[in-house]
Each structure stands twice: as C-alpha cells, then as structure tokens.
Amino acid sequence: MDRIAVFCDFDGTITESDNIISIMKHFAPPEWESLKDKVLAEEISIQDGVGQMFALLPSSLKEEITSYVLSQAKIRNGFEEFIAYLKTEKIPLYIVSGGIDFFIHPLLEQFGPFEAIYCNHSDFSGEMIKVNWPHECDEECDNGCGCCKPSIMRSRDEEGLYKIVIGDSITDLQAAKQADFVLARDLLLQKSRELGLDHRPFTDFFDCITELKRLIGVKL
C-alpha cells in the first residue's frame, strides 16, 4: 500500500469556527468585512487580505485577543481520537494553517506533538499587529497564499505518497486540487463538488476516521 500523509487545516476544521473571523468580529473596525469579502471572492490574495485585516488591530491588544481566542475556540469533536488513530496507523499529520502562531500553538499544545505545524507568524513589536509569512508560495504558485499549503505539500512530496487534505474554506482549495483525496466541509465541500475532486463530506473527526478506514481497506 502507498504511504499516506494527512494535511489538515486548523481554523474552521480542527476548531469549529474560524478564529481569524472571530477575532475580527470582536476587535476590528468595520473595514475588515470588505477585506474578508474580497478574499472569499478571490479578488485579493489571502496574504494581502489577512495581512491588512490584522494591520487594523493595535499590538497592545495581544493579551486580550489571545485570552479571547483561548476562551472561545472549540476543538471539533473526535480530534483527539483522530490523532490517536493516525498514530496507531503510523500516518503522519501535518497541520497547515493560514492562521497565526500566537493562538494556534496554545490551542494545539495539549494534542501534540505533530509531524509539523505550518502557520503564519505574528509580530507585536510595532503599533499595529504585523503578520509574517515564513511559508510563502514557491515558484509553482503565484496565488499569494500567505501560508502556502500546496507549496508545503510539494516540499513533503515523495514517490507513492497518497495525500489527504482536510479543510473547510477557500484557503484549502489549492491544496485540495493537488490532493489524492479530500475531506471537506462548508465552502471547500462546495468547491470540491464543482471541480469534481475525489472527496467526501465530514462533520466531525469521527467521520474522518471512518473515511480513512475505508480508504485503507480499499487500498489493501
């Protein structure tokens, strides 16, 4: 059987809601709404949109925003069991997120360690929050992803690797296009249907366990 690797989104996938959207609704001035709409309509890049949204927030809010996310974020049902299942099957799990390190790492700390966590980095040294991009697009991608999920997948590619992407939004679409199989919900599910990607819907991570067991059974 080919080796399997799972590339899983964080916001809206591991967590029940998108933490960036939650932060913006609670802390940002109204201008964030038009930036979000432009990202979802693919009128501006994810990198530009997320960078501009966080630039609306003063760095002095760091502790307040962090406390808010940690108190509000809910981990999707079955995630702990999903991690245990992957470990049993020796399937590596890569967290690939367009979210920001200052809330992702504290939320995931109790569940790790993981094969790797890829996300954007925060800089609170200036007056307004700045987002840094340590995982930008490679030469094969010009979408301005910010944290470029397809580039990360290419960096981990190897012959015979069966790539599964789990996600929910437009930020997962380019990764889903190069996956062998997609577990999708929300907007990514709609896009997967439109593009005819090999996919299944999921509601929680128990669904993901069921689908992986099915895939492994088919491939044996």
CB 184 within 8 A of CB 63: no
Tens digit of pLDDT for each residue in 95-111?
999 999 999 999 999 99
Q: Residue 187: its pLDDT value, please?
A: 93
Give 46's pLDDT tier (boundaries 50, 70, 90): confident
- pLDDT at residue 127 tops 80: yes
Domain of 160 in residue numbering reads as: 3-219
Residue 156 reports pLDDT greater than 90 = no
**Per-residue confidence band for 41, with pLDDT thresholds at 50, 70 and 90:** confident
Question: What digits encode the pLDDT tens for the residues 4-36?
Answer: 999 999 999 999 999 999 999 999 999 999 999
Residue type, 167: G
Kindly indicate the confidence band of residue 1, based on its pLDDT and cuts at 50, 70 and 90. Answer: very low
Average pLDDT over the chain, rounded to an integer:
94
- The pLDDT tens digits for 165-207 are 999 988 899 899 999 999 999 999 999 999 999 999 999 999 9
What average pLDDT does range 149-154 have in this prediction?
A: 94
DSSP labels for 146-165?
Answer: SS-HHHHHHHT--TTEEEEE
Q: Is 178 exposed, middle or buried (0-12, 13-18, 19+ CB in 10 A)?
A: middle
Question: Strands of 161-167's sheet, edge to edge?
Answer: 130-132, 116-123, 93-100, 3-8, 161-167, 181-184, 199-201
Instruction: Give the pLDDT band of residue 218 (cuts 50, 70, 90).
Output: low
In terms of Cβ atoms closer than 10 Å to its own Cβ (0-12, 13-18, 19+), residue 76 is: buried
What's the pLDDT band for 219 if we cut at 50, 70, 90?
low
CA dihedral over 151, 70, 5, 201, signed as positive or negative: negative
Q: In total, how many domains does the chain have?
A: 1
Query: What is residue 170's predicted lDDT score, i.e. its pLDDT?
Result: 82
**DSSP-assigned letter for residue 136:** -
Region 75-83 average pLDDT? 98
Backbone angles phi, psi at 117, to 5 degrees: -120, 115
Q: Give the ranges where 158-204 is alpha helix by DSSP (H).
A: 173-177, 186-195
Q: What is the pLDDT of residue 157?
A: 80
The pLDDT assigned to 110 comes to 93
**51 pLDDT above the threshold of 70:** yes
* Phi/psi at 145 (5° precision): -70, -25
**What does pTM read for this prediction?**
0.91
Q: Which CATH number covers residue 40?
A: 3.40.50.1000
Task: State yes or no: pLDDT of 84 exceeds 80.
Answer: yes
Instruction: State the pLDDT at residue 220.
Output: 42
Please tell me the distance from the alpha carbon of residue 158 to that of residue 30, in angstroms, as a whole number.
45
